[in-house]
Structure 1
Amino acid sequence: MMTRDPMLSLPVIDMTPLFGDDDKARQQVARAIDTACRKVGFFYVVGHAIPSQCLTDLEAESRAFFALPLTEKMQVAMARGGAAWRGYFPVGNELTSGKPDNKEGLYFGSDLPNDHPRVRGGWPLHGANLWPSKPAGLRNAVETYMTATTRAGQALLEGISLSLGLDRYYFLNTYTANPTVLFRVFHYPAEMPESWRESWGAGAHCDYGLLTLLAQDRYGGLEVKTPNGWIQAPPIEGALVCNIGDMLERLTGGTYRSTLHRVMNRSGHDRLSFPLFLDPDFAAEIVPLPRLARDHIDAPRWDGEDPHIFSGRYGDYLLSKVAKVFPTLGADHLEHGTTVSPEHQNKDFQPQ
């Protein structure tokens, strides 16, 4: 079920049937997903069942947080989150393509108590979120949105399973029964010093997981690299932007490709965006789908890296990536945890 607005270059897919019992309708959605993933790796989704009030509340609470003085925002600085990799970072502290980004943000993830086995075991990227005291409604807004969007992402992965000719629950049974869920709230300021005005809000990059679901405010700024060059991916009311990451490219042997994208806030307004990354279990063994295993080596891609050569646990791969985004934090908190050690591995996890 794919529609195309003549003013847009990315497909719009109504994923409503993925929540229902009509097999024929689900297969239509799967075919639309297959076309989008093969052609560009980016598409919009509507019918995701995330209440509009959910995003309205999240935007309002997020704007209130970023309007606070820097000293108050730094009360939940990422340095206080330790190896859980949570909290606030100021403008210029995140490096997307090796250069400081013109944005500030908040990092969240699955909120785990200190007595959770993985937290007790010292697993990096596992732990409690850092919640600011103000605004008071931010925590509820974030948790409500994360729950609804994770549900939408799991349904979308069912559609991707079907698009690849797999059982509807392939990804759920194999990789995402206990997914790695990472959520970001990004603020791209309207006013910046002259030296920052030509800086990218987020430099050109590919995401490194399975699936990204992005909500944007009305100001836009996302750009996507297509076979025909860079295009705008403007906000559509009620729609999320979805894109596949390097791990889905890896699992599909390159049948589906992760796509380069970037952000520049040219709107003259403070811009917010809300990406949720739905990725494999931290302990999952990354094994390509057998019938899609790659039998050739492509030319090096834009960054000189090849996601297809990785083998091992998803957590090891993820740690190798996130330490490049915040080098100082990586050195301080993740150096000791660059592998999922045998005693920390989930003994019950078995790839299908």
Structure 2
Amino acid sequence: MVNEQASLPIIDVSPLLDLNSHRDNQQETATEIHQACRSWGFFYVKNHGVPLKLQEELIKFSRKFFARPLEEKMQIDMNKGGRAWRGYFPVGNELTSGKPDGKEGIYFGTEINDINHPKVRNNTPLHGRNQFPSGKSDDDEFRQVILTYMTAMESLGRAIMSALARSLKLDPNFFDKNYFGEEPTCLFRIFNYPASFCQQQGNENLWGVGEHTDYGMLTLLLQDDIGGLQVKTSRNEWIQAPPVPNTFVCNIGDMLDRMTGGYYRSTPHRVRNLSTTRDRLSFPFFLDPNWDAEVLPIPMKGMTNINDDAEHRWDKSSVHTFHGTYGEYLLKKVSRVFPDLAQEQTINK
């Protein structure tokens, strides 16, 4: 059952990006983010500074890529990406709760060309070079659009996390100093939800992505104009999160839930393509802690008890029992989504 009346808040984040903005305006924005995180775990951001033309080019090039024959897309198959875990995967190769998703996609991460980079030299998972589409006349332009977009999203994400720190009555640079540093874990996905998937007879899972929470810290999502994202409220109702022109959908992930002791909750959501004639595109960008950062509870005044809701979570798994680095945590999560690839990487250690 979907509640068609409720809607997520839309927050103007321009005060966070203007160096001359008054502190009161920045604090007001931080308060709005705080309220959204407490009530929904989701919100839209507008006046975010990411050029509309860049967004439109990303959608245009992505649509052209997914229209290619499968054999062309498989030229950048994820299995060719090694431990960097970058590249293309076809429909059904990604799992949610053990069920194949109705989407295909390309995985990207921070581009590291330096073979002497410590993480590359040590063959650290999720570090290295990306696999970009190639062979077409405009693929070089597509590559530049992707890298430019990722840079813009990292900058926006840091600004939002700074406001989030304010909302928790922390130093605005708390996350930059303690978790991101110079090399946060930045992951970017381009997903395509084929209209044909929903038309398959006998398909038990018509969801492009079933109910889940994001396992990182902050997600920034660009949607095309089709829609299909749904968010689960604290009342166990589903609400639509439709596309709003020139905005991004933001949501907090399991890591922030853990770090705040459940004060900010990661919220379940799911996706299906609402169109039977057009493929749906989405572009989630994940801003997460540095690979080597130890995940620790945030020092929050008045917070003494961890609100562990494992029994009521979609996966019945506690986000509060993990101890270690973000990299260790992320590897465990990835193994659930790509079990074959994770097994291959374990064998090749």
TM-score norm. by structure 2 comes to: 0.92
Other-structure match for 1:340: none
Aligned partner of 2:288 among 279, 294, 310: 279
Question: 1:64 aligns to what?
Answer: 64
Structure 1 residues 270, 299: CA separation in 2 closer, same or farther (over 3 Å shift)? closer
The question of whether the paired residues in 1 share the 8 Å contact of 2:262 and 2:307 is answered with: no
What is the correspondence of 1:130-209 to structure 2 with a 5 Å cutoff? 130-133=131-134, 134=136, 135-136=138-139, 137-177=141-181, 178-192=183-197, 193-196=200-203, 198-209=205-216
- Give the C-alpha shift of residue 298 in structure 1: 3.9
Deviations 1:307-349 (A, max 9, x none): 1111110000000000111111110014566xxxxxxxxxxxx
Matching residue of 2:128: 127
**Would you identify which runs of 4 or more consecutive aligned residues in structure 1 move more than 3 Å?**
195-198, 292-299, 334-337
Amino acid at match of 1:201: G
What RMSD, in angstroms, separates the aligned Cα atoms of the two structures?
A: 1.6
1:342 corresponds to: none
Give the distance between the partners of 1:208 and 1:151, measured in 2 at CA. 20
1:215 is aligned to 2:232? no
Write the distance in 2 (CA, Å) between the matches of 1:333 and 1:43: 36
Q: Confirm or deny: 8 A CA contact 2:262 2:308 kept in the other structure.
A: no
Instruction: Give yes or no for contact 2:97–2:315 (8 Å, CA) kept in 1.
Output: no
**Shift in CA distance, 157/334, structure 1 to aligned 2, threshold 3 Å:** farther
- Against the structure 1 CA distance between its residues 297 and 65, is the aligned structure 2 distance closer, same or farther, given a 3 Å change threshold? closer
> Map of 1:1-352 to 2, 5 A cutoff?
9-20=7-18, 21-113=21-113, 114-133=115-134, 134=136, 135-136=138-139, 137-177=141-181, 178-192=183-197, 193-196=200-203, 198-228=205-235, 229-268=237-276, 269-291=278-300, 292=303, 294-295=305-306, 297-298=308-309, 300=311, 301-334=313-346
TM-score normalized by the length of structure 1: 0.91
1:197 CA displacement: 7.7
Letter in structure 2 aligned against 1:259: T
What is the CA–CA distance in structure 2 between the aligned matches of 1:241 and 1:104, rounded to whole Å? 21
Offset of 1:299 from its aligned partner? 5.3
**1:55 Cα shift?**
0.5
How many residues get paired? Answer: 332
State, as a whole percentage, how many aligned pairs show the same letter. 52
- In structure 2, the partner of 1:3 is none
Aligned residues of 2:223 and 2:281 also touching (Cα < 8 A): yes
